[in-house]
């Protein structure tokens, strides 16, 4: 058992120290702005670094190799550990959050969900606002790394469809993985800088531009004001649309495009499906609003595009309370919640490729009904899709809706109404952020929910971010008997 945990805890130690280093940034902001939050970050950083050093000293393995069981354990433990360490400053601030609220806010941040229990953000100390934004940015790069290297290797939910040489996890693949990791970080940082500059040129303050760039590229959705993005001009909203869409696309394709510039990136089945779904949904919502309201067409188009892209990429920004746009709009946004972005992106949701595989599987079944003796090959991105990938994708979809049902019922048991329970469960599992209704809708937040509901939603956010199966495997007796 020690051999199973030792390398995993060693990696957890390195990540705890990394989190302590990241806390130095809001410390500097606290000193520069004199917002009195320096002790909170100083103590939290010391605790995180101390625990990290202990894990490193007592768990240094002789030979560092990770097998599949250890990777399952590593992905789950790291997200849980980072959530608790990142919550420490929120419990030590001058106006501390309760343990429940701090963990909820940290989990929402590190999983790039964007649900919040904090209000009066316009008067919140700058160091705390920056820390929330940094959590989402850190979580975003973690999501990309997990999606391109770990989940394909573990064959989670059809992700083996995107397996590369860097998903091998053998010794010979380590140099390739390190090269990919460096490239991903550089692309991620570069895109964040471009987004911040674009926001700044469009009229944001430097502080707002940095914070919103961190949460836009990571498709997280934390803002520096209770009004979210509703206080900014149309140019800023369109900039957000562009970078939210980029954040919802596979980052490995950006690396390929930079190394070998070619517009063939647009021929990727995921990207084409992603773009066409957005265009279709925005068109439908624009026409519905144009025919039923007297607002200016460009205003309708801007609001429709921004909010559709925000929800489908699971960013969770809001520029308006779209629950006031009528029952059709509410129903549309509810179903859009489940779609998500592309695999290998920072976004959550069920992912575009699973809907595409489901359509291809349905079309294949229809052909077989008409031609029982025919032989048909399902292809995705020009490659044949094997049966195990199809089975894995179907298993994920079944598990997703099973967990959605259980989470909804659990939230209802805490006393929440049906709409809040259902949309709260959906937005947590898909890592979107806002739900629907007066309580957790785009104009509300999660502060008034009972503590039991917040713990349920925190678990659901981690489950959704880990693609469900990664954490569920740990609950299986087979895992511990292996």
pLDDT tens per residue across span 249-269 = 988 888 888 877 777 777 888
Categorize the per-residue pLDDT at 300 as very low, low, confident or very high, splitting at 50, 70 and 90.
very high
Categorize the per-residue pLDDT at 158 as very low, low, confident or very high, splitting at 50, 70 and 90.
low
Tens of pLDDT, residues 335-369: 999 999 998 889 988 899 889 888 888 888 888 88
Residues pairing with 380 in the sheet: 383
d(CA 101, CA 158): 34
pLDDT of residue 466: 86
The pLDDT of 12-18, averaged and rounded, is 91
User: What percent of the chain stands above pLDDT 90?
Assistant: 54
Mean residue pLDDT across the chain: 87
Phi/psi of residue 379, nearest 5 degrees: -120, 145
Tens of pLDDT, residues 191-249: 999 999 999 999 999 999 999 999 999 999 999 998 889 899 999 999 999 999 999 99
Q: Does residue 168 register a pLDDT over 60?
A: no
Tens of pLDDT, residues 418-430: 999 999 999 999 9
Q: Tokens 């030792």 sit at which residue?
A: 6
What residues have CB less than 8 Å from 253, skipping those under 6 apart? 265, 268, 271, 344
The pLDDT of 394-409, averaged and rounded, is 92
Tens of pLDDT, residues 171-189: 455 456 677 778 888 999 9
What residues have CB less than 8 Å from 30, skipping those under 6 apart? 36, 37, 38, 41, 125, 126, 127
Q: Does residue 169 register a pLDDT over 60?
A: no
d(CA 392, CA 396): 6
Q: Does residue 8 register a pLDDT over 90?
A: no
């Amino acid at each position: 058992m020690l051999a199973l945990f030792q390398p995993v805890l060693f990696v957890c130690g390195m990540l705890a120290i990394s989190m302590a280093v990241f806390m130095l940034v809001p410390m500097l902001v606290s000193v520069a702005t004199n917002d009195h939050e320096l002790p909170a970050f100083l103590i939290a950083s010391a605790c995180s670094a101390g625990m990290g050093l202990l894990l490193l000293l007592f768990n240094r393995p002789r030979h560092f190799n990770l097998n599949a069981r250890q990777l399952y354990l590593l992905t789950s433990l790291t997200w849980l550990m980072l959530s608790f360490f990142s919550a420490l400053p929120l419990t030590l601030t001058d106006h501390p959050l309760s343990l429940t609220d701090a963990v909820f806010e940290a989990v929402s941040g590190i999983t790039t969900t964007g649900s919040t229990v904090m209000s009066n953000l316009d008067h919140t100390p700058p160091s705390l606002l920056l820390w929330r934004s940094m959590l989402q940015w850190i979580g975003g790069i973690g999501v990309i790394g997990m999606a391109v290297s770990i989940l394909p290797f573990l064959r989670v939910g059809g992700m083996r469809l995107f397996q590369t040489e860097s998903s091998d996890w053998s010794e010979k693949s380590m140099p390739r993985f390190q090269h990919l990791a460096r490239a991903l970080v550089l692309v991620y940082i570069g895109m964040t800088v471009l987004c911040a500059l674009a926001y700044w040129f469009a009229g944001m303050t430097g502080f707002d531009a940095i914070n919103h760039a961190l949460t836009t590229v990571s498709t997280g959705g934390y803002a520096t004001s209770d009004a979210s993005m509703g206080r900014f001009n149309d140019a800023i909203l369109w900039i957000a649309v562009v970078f939210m869409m980029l954040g919802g696309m596979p980052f490995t394709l950006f690396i390929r495009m930079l190394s070998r510039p070619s517009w063939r990136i647009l021929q990727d089945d995921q990207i084409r499906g992603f773009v066409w779904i957005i265009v279709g949904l925005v068109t439908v919502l624009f026409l519905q609003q144009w025919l039923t309201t007297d607002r200016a067409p460009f205003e309708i188009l801007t609001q429709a595009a921004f909010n559709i892209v925000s929800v489908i990429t699971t960013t969770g920004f809001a520029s308006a309370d779209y629950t006031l746009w009528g029952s059709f709009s509410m129903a549309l946004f509810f179903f859009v919640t489940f779609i998500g972005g592309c695999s290998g992106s920072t976004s959550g949701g069920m992912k575009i490729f699973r809907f595409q595989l489901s359509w291809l599987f349905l079309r294949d079944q229809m052909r077989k009904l008409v031609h029982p003796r025919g032989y048909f090959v399902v292809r995705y991105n020009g490659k044949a899709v094997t049966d195990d990938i199809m089975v894995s994708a179907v298993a994920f979809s079944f598990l997703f809706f099973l967990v959605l049902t259980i989470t909804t019922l659990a939230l209802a048991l805490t006393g929440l109404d049906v709409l809040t329970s259902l949309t709260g469960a959906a937005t947590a599992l898909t890592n979107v952020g806002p739900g629907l209704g007066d309580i957790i809708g785009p104009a509300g937040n999660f502060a008034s929910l009972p503590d039991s509901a917040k713990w349920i939603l925190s678990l659901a956010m981690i489950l959704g971010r880990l693609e469900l199966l990664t954490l569920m495997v740990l609950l299986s007796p087979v895992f511990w008997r292996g």
